[in-house]
Amino acid sequence: MKSLIQTLTQTPGPSGYEQEIRKVIREAVTPLSKSIQVDALGSLIVRVGEKKPGGLRVMVAAHMDEIGVIVSHVEKKGFVRFSNLGSILPRYLAGGRVRFLNGVRGVINHDRSEELARIPGVEKYFIDVGATSDKDCPVKVGDVAVFDREFLDMGKRVSSKAMDDRVACAVLIETMRNIKTTPNELVFVFSTQEEVQSRGAQTAAYAIEADLGIAVDVTPSGDILGVNMQVYLGQGPAIKVRDVGMIADPKVVKWMADTAKKNQIPCQMEVLDVGSTDARTMQLARSGMLAGALSIPCRYVHSPSELVDMDDITQSVKLLTALLSERIQL
């Protein structure tokens, strides 16, 4: 599982440019499904099982895109200005490194400012790719990059860029491997462009017309100081109750909590004040869908060093497997 997470997090796939990560995921799921499709927005749609009497069609989504940056202009001196692809947080930028899809690497810093205590906006940052002028700059306007940060194995806990949401992609793949029988028609979607308002899940949800939608994504862990949230690393998957974009269906929340209890899987309840997931998009697809989400606790979300606990991953796979393997009564 660790090596799968390492491969998935280290493969670049900024929003809108998911071709490389899609290839890696496609290889992993090919032995597990007879029906694999890619839609116009690039989401990978993988079907497992058929709908038997009493079964439901369930869409399970994890996004394969990660946050990144896109070149907006190149200064005469060769410094590269950029804009964000998804929610890039300026406080995590200075001193960091990025890797462009063409392989070029660079270091990030920002303009000199008299107010050193204030964190500047993204527009004040630049990437130094080693160019001496705009003439010899190896990247151009429109080129995209992701954080360049190696996978760090700390034993029980691991850290990398793009844990959001590759760790959930790994959970989906492992769940597919685990499911032996199911009365449900399961449609696993590795969605694109979640970090730019969940656009991949929107078209996928429209096409799939599921009875129930479940997103698997990370959620900020509340166990670092100054966070007002009761979701902690190492205490199991969090069942989403609400975030800024959705109120999970209470029937879905209860079903998830009951299933966890029945199978003795530790879990927590999530009430989140920032952000949302593909579950919001599924809930609002067509004329609406029953929806909920499982969240993997993660420290330092949207930084180059996101950190998760391996136990939470194992328990998430167990819970998702249990949820999808049985007849779902809501």
Told to check if 66 binds Co ion by CB under 5 A, we report: no
DSSP assignment letter at 14: B
> Residue for token digits 């900024």?
14
Please tell me the count of residues contacting Co ion according to CB under 5 A: 1
For residue 143, the partner it binds in Zn ion, Co ion, none, with Cβ less than 5 to 8 A by kind, is: none
Nearer to Co ion, 14 or 213 (CB): 14
CB under 5 A: which stretch of 45-53, 128-136, 164-172, 302-310 binds Zn ion?
Answer: 164-172
Closest listed residue to residue 80, CA positions, set 102, 61, 64, 60: 102
Is there a contact between 260 and 270 (Cβ–Cβ < 8 Å)?
Answer: no
CA distance linking residue 32 with residue 20, whole number of Å: 20
Using CB under 5 A as the binding rule, whether residue 165 contacts Zn ion is answered as yes
Q: Please name the amino acid found at residue 290.
A: L
CA 65 and chain centroid, separation? 7
Query: Residue 306, interface with Zn ion (CB under 5 A)?
Result: no
Coil, strand, or helix at residue 252?
helix
Catalytic residues: 194
Q: Are 145 and 101 in contact (CB under 8 A)?
A: yes
Closest contact distance (angstroms) between CB of 215 and Zn ion is 9
Binds 66, which of Zn ion, Co ion, none (CB < 5 to 8 A, cut-off by type)?
none
Tell me how far apart the alpha carbons of residues 86 and 68 are, in angstroms, rounded to a whole number. Answer: 7
Work out which of 66, 143, 148, 164 binds Zn ion, going by CB under 5 A. 164
Q: What residue has token string 């058929």?
A: 50
Smallest separation (angstroms) from Zn ion to the CB of 191: 10
Q: Give the relative orientation of helices 310-325 and 250-262 as an angle to the nearest 10 degrees.
A: 110
Please state, in angstroms and rounded to a whole number, the distance separating the CA atoms of residues 230 and 220: 10
Q: Which is nearer to Co ion, 18 or 164 (CB)?
A: 164
Residue 18 lies near Co ion (rule: CB under 5 A): no
By CB under 5 A, residue 217 contacts Zn ion: yes
Asked if 243 interacts with Zn ion (CB under 5 A), we say no
Amino acid identity at 285: A
Q: Which stretch binds Co ion (CB under 5 A): 12-20, 136-144, 163-171, 250-258?
A: 163-171
164 binds Co ion (CB under 5 A): yes
Minimum distance of Co ion from residue 119's CB (angstroms): 20
**Structural contact between residues 9 and 151, judged by C-beta atoms closer than 8 angstroms:** yes
Query: Taking contact as CB under 5 A, which single stretch among the options 44-52, 212-220, 227-235, 282-290 is the one that binds Zn ion?
Result: 212-220
259-298 burial code (b ≥16 CB/10 A, e <16)? bbeeeebebbebebeebbbbbbbbbbbeeebbbbbbbbbb
In the complex, minimum distance from the CB of residue 195 to Co ion, in angstroms, rounded to a whole number = 5
Q: Are strands 290-298 and 152-153 parallel, antiparallel or unpaired?
A: unpaired
From 76-84, 92-100, 120-128, 161-169, span contacting Zn ion (CB under 5 A): 161-169
Question: Which of the stretches 100-108, 143-151, 160-168, 265-273 binds Zn ion when contact is defined by CB under 5 A?
Answer: 160-168
- Residue 217 or 312 having the CB closest to Zn ion: 217
Q: Which does 174 bind (CB under 5 to 8 A by kind): Zn ion, Co ion, none?
A: none
How many residues form the binding site for Zn ion (CB under 5 A)?
Answer: 3
Residue among 60 and 301 whose Cβ is closer to Co ion: 301
Closest CA to 214 of 88, 330, 54: 330
Partner from Co ion, Zn ion, none contacting 217, C-beta within 5 to 8 A by type: Zn ion
Chain residues in the site for Co ion (CB under 5 A): 164
